[in-house]
Structure 1
Amino acid sequence: MNIRRHIIYLGWQGFQNFGDDLLYATWKVALGTPLRIQAPLTRRDYAAAAPRFFSQRVRTLSGERLVLLGGGTTVGFASWGAHARNAMTYYDAHALVVAGAGAASSDDTFALGLQRTDWAQWGALPNVALFGVRGPLTSEECQRHWRPAPVIGDPALLYTRYAMPLPTPAARPVVGVCLGASPVSRFSVEVVADAIRIYLAAHPGTTVRVVQLSPEDAGAAHNLVKALGNGTSAEIVAYSGDVHGMMQAIAGCSLLLSERLHGTVAGVACGIPTVPLAYASKCDDFWLSVSGERPALGVTANSHLIADELEKATEPGRIFSVASRTTALQDRLESAAEQLRRWHAGQQPAVGLGRYTERAEA
């Protein structure tokens, strides 16, 4: 008998945040499915979406179901543990799939000041198909608090393997800049603007593209253009829900400086020399995965250090090293996607996906 199989997507997409939407778009193209079944995030959301939820629940009753955790910094957090448990319970899912998600480091006072961790809750989740996590810092946290987890990279690295951006060739070199973090940017607009001016002085004819990846970043984007001054050719490209369009805007840059994590991920995925402005451990986690080093720029970095890192990013050795590690991570992510495609097509059982066995983890 041919049993229908359903993937329930668990993420934070649809709120005009490029990073969350990029993860969702990546899984859609990588798995070859529209991922129409999207789990609500709270009991209140389940109540608000009751007609849609019950319709989806009835349609999936006769098949097998997996809940796919889209990615992001979710593992270990109490809120996301509850979201995962609710989705598995309400959809009666056979397993929770974790492939490329991240965790906050135990010493990340910024991230842990925004959300509470509850590793015991994650340990109590039954039937987790754990393919791997975003980076080495997450792997360490999982080893310490949960279970062993290999590094396979951020899922959004796969986007360009399936939907390669085709940027319009720029008449002049373009340095892209992204300032923003939730709830607000942690970097000084004036310091970043001064660093860009230093770089532009050494590279005449270069223009500036400010990429605004969330509505929260609008103030920082406009203040940056203002701080650069009228003598600088600068434009703002704001994300409006078109993931591919924003990927094209990023791919059209010659160099990218990004505070937003998925601005950095997108730049790396597009093969653009990229410099992260690290404001939380998730930035370190990703950059370690693609470079083997922690980011050089923390929130106290001065303009000259930022300008120096922009120069170093275009060195052939740095470009080759990041590209090589990125390709290896993309291969690992592709292996996970292939297993999920095979499961979805009825060619592979759920047991055996990632590190999933049919037992609850205590």
Structure 2
Amino acid sequence: MNKTILYIGWIGYRNLGDDLLWNLFRDRADKYLGSGQITIVPSLPGVNIQHLERYDTIVLGGGSLIAPTYIQLLYRAIKMKKKVCIWGSGIDRIPESALYAMQEGEKMPVIQRFKGEEIAQLREVLMQADFIGVRGPYTKKVLETLTGVSGVPIIGDPGLLLEWNKAAVQKEKCIGINWGTTMNNLYGNKEKDVEKQLAEAAKQWVSEGYKVFIYAVWSEDFPACQWLYKLIDKPEKVLFEKKLYTEQELMKKLSICSLTVNFKLHPNLLSLSAGVPAVALGYRFKVFDLFSSLGLEHLVLSTSEEQINTKLMKLADETMQEADKIRKDYWVKQQIYSPQIEKIFTEDGL
């Protein structure tokens, strides 16, 4: 019998990270289930996700989508006797104070992300969903603390399914930099200062003989990347193309680099999947959640830090020195998480 599935993701807005998660879901569904068994409707602009009647299964896809609006939708679906799945989703918008409490093993301060009836709905979803797997241990901790539900499974970010030909490539003395904007909604609330210090670090890398490749993964980030390019002011050594790459195009571009430094979340997985160690600018909770799931938290530098350029230079140097170990550790995690991420297709989660 043909099933109709609604895939919920922030897709269709020229954001590579969210779109690649949808691409991975679609491709794995086709691989394991075949096009004749299911019809998948992605939540592209124009699709009214409030109308659930036609769907057999509702999938909350990859991304930081564990938020009141989407949980309310899943709660409604459960009440309508629909199948409900959470596929590698994570939580975000958690203050840095709560993050630090988790890192230090202390009691978390009150979390305002869900309130009142929203917490009850979240608890019901976690208890009744047909398939649950969240992005990382920090998402797990927040959900269990909020709801009292224990044993929330971690399956990793679906971006871990990204595949790249690991054959040797000719490495260049090049550092990739992903930049963009959050309209100053980041840890430390000093986006322009982070940008300035990132430019200073890039200038130093250029003086050491590196080329710099600046790239965006969202069309809205082009102006910020263009401005970073101007701040560095080394056009003979710095490349920025006002272009949105596909995931395969970008992995090919990154594969020659010695290192990448990434502002947005999924460029880190694109880089690591291409065999290139990644340093993450920890601008929000989700970055720490992802890197904790990979056992690579030491590669995250919070945007609330002082003297980011100095700390970034030091961390970048250390990361390039342990590049082989980082590659191996990441591929081990890929092998562990991939079957868990694919269980939704192989064990009738849908």
Question: What range describes the TM-score normalised by the shorter chain of this pair?
Answer: 0.7 to 0.9
Equivalent residue in structure 2 for 1:12, among 6, 10, 13: 10
Q: Which secondary structure state, in structure 1, belongs to the residue aligned with residue 5 of structure 2?
A: strand
Task: Give, as a single letter, the amino acid of the residue that structure 2 aligns with 1:142.
Answer: L
Post-superposition shift, 1:276?
Answer: 0.3
Q: How does 1:307-318 map to 2 (within 5 A)?
A: 307-316=313-322
Compared CA separation, residues 333 and 182, structure 1 to 2 (3 A):
farther
Post-superposition shift, 1:116?
Answer: 4.4
Post-superposition Cα deviations, 1:81-116, rounded to whole Å, max 9, x if no partner, equal: 134345667xx66322113211137434899xxx94
1:74 alignment partner in structure 2: 65
Which region of structure 1 is more displaced relative to structure 2, 276-285 or 292-301?
292-301
1:127 alignment partner in structure 2: 128
Task: Give, as a single letter, the amino acid of the residue that structure 1 aligns with 2:329.
Answer: S
Post-superposition shift, 1:37?
Answer: 1.1
Task: Give, as a single letter, the amino acid of the residue that structure 2 aligns with 1:257.
Answer: V
Post-superposition shift, 1:166?
Answer: 8.2
Query: How many angstroms apart in 1 are the aligned matches of 2:28 and 2:90?
Result: 19
Compared CA separation, residues 99 and 274, structure 1 to 2 (3 A):
same
Task: Give, as a single letter, the amino acid of the residue that structure 2 aligns with 1:332.
Answer: Y
2:227 pairs with 1:229:
no
Decide whether the 8 Å contact of 1:165 with 1:244 is kept in 2. Answer: no
Post-superposition shift, 1:209?
Answer: 0.9
Task: Give, as a single letter, the amino acid of the residue that structure 1 aligns with 2:133.
Answer: G
Post-superposition shift, 1:282?
Answer: 0.7
Decide whether the 8 Å contact of 1:105 with 1:137 is kept in 2. Answer: no
What runs of 5+ residues in structure 1 fail to find an aligned partner? 354-362
2:286 pairs with 1:290:
no
The structure showing larger relative contact order (alpha-carbon pairs under 8 Å, at least 6 residues apart) is 1
Q: Which secondary structure state, in structure 1, belongs to the residue aligned with residue 203 of structure 2?
A: helix
What runs of 5+ residues in structure 2 fail to find an aligned partner? 100-111
2:99 pairs with 1:99:
no
Compared CA separation, residues 325 and 12, structure 1 to 2 (3 A):
same
Task: Give, as a single letter, the amino acid of the residue that structure 2 aligns with 1:267.
Answer: S
**TM-score of the pair, normalised by structure 1:** 0.75
2:33 pairs with 1:30:
no
Query: How many angstroms apart in 2 are the aligned matches of 1:312 and 1:212?
Result: 25
2:143 pairs with 1:152:
no
Query: How many angstroms apart in 2 are the aligned matches of 1:25 and 1:229?
Result: 36
Decide whether the 8 Å contact of 2:171 with 2:258 is kept in 1. Answer: no
Post-superposition shift, 1:211?
Answer: 0.9
1:358 alignment partner in structure 2: none
Post-superposition shift, 1:31?
Answer: 2.9
What is the root-mean-square deviation in Å for CA atoms of aligned residues?
A: 3.4
Compared CA separation, residues 106 and 255, structure 1 to 2 (3 A):
closer
Query: How many angstroms apart in 2 are the aligned matches of 1:172 and 1:329?
Result: 25
Percent identity between matched residues is: 20
Q: Which secondary structure state, in structure 2, belongs to the residue aligned with residue 144 of structure 1?
A: helix
Decide whether the 8 Å contact of 1:130 with 1:149 is kept in 2. Answer: no
**TM-score of the pair, normalised by structure 2:** 0.78
1:332 alignment partner in structure 2: 337
2:261 pairs with 1:281:
no
Q: Which secondary structure state, in structure 2, belongs to the residue aligned with residue 180 of structure 1?
A: coil
Q: How does 1:33-182 map to 2 (within 5 A)?
A: 36-39=40-43, 45=48, 57=54, 65-75=56-66, 77-85=67-75, 94-104=82-92, 106-108=94-96, 116-117=113-114, 118-125=118-125, 127-146=128-147, 147=149, 148-160=151-163, 164=164, 172-182=172-182
Query: How many angstroms apart in 2 are the aligned matches of 1:87 and 1:181?
Result: 34
Task: Give, as a single letter, the amino acid of the residue that structure 2 aligns with 1:323.
Answer: K
Count of residue pairs the alignment pairs up? 318
Q: Which secondary structure state, in structure 1, belongs to the residue aligned with residue 313 of structure 2?
A: helix
Task: Give, as a single letter, the amino acid of the residue that structure 1 aligns with 2:310.
Answer: H
Query: How many angstroms apart in 2 are the aligned matches of 1:232 and 1:276?
Result: 26
Query: How many angstroms apart in 1 are the aligned matches of 2:250 and 2:273?
Result: 13
Q: Which secondary structure state, in structure 1, belongs to the residue aligned with residue 279 of structure 2?
A: strand
Compared CA separation, residues 275 and 159, structure 1 to 2 (3 A):
same
Q: Which secondary structure state, in structure 2, belongs to the residue aligned with residue 291 of structure 1?
A: coil
Decide whether the 8 Å contact of 1:210 with 1:235 is kept in 2. Answer: yes
Task: Give, as a single letter, the amino acid of the residue that structure 1 aligns with 2:252.
Answer: Q
Decide whether the 8 Å contact of 2:12 with 2:44 is kept in 1. Answer: no
Query: How many angstroms apart in 2 are the aligned matches of 1:277 and 1:129?
Result: 35
Compared CA separation, residues 232 and 278, structure 1 to 2 (3 A):
farther
Post-superposition shift, 1:167?
Answer: 10
2:108 alignment partner in structure 1: none
Task: Give, as a single letter, the amino acid of the residue that structure 2 aligns with 1:216.
Answer: E
Compared CA separation, residues 307 and 102, structure 1 to 2 (3 A):
same
Query: How many angstroms apart in 2 are the aligned matches of 1:232 and 1:93?
Result: 60
Which region of structure 1 is more displaced relative to structure 2, 9-18 or 20-29?
20-29
2:103 alignment partner in structure 1: none
Q: Which secondary structure state, in structure 2, belongs to the residue aligned with residue 37 of structure 1?
A: strand
Post-superposition shift, 1:239?
Answer: 4.9
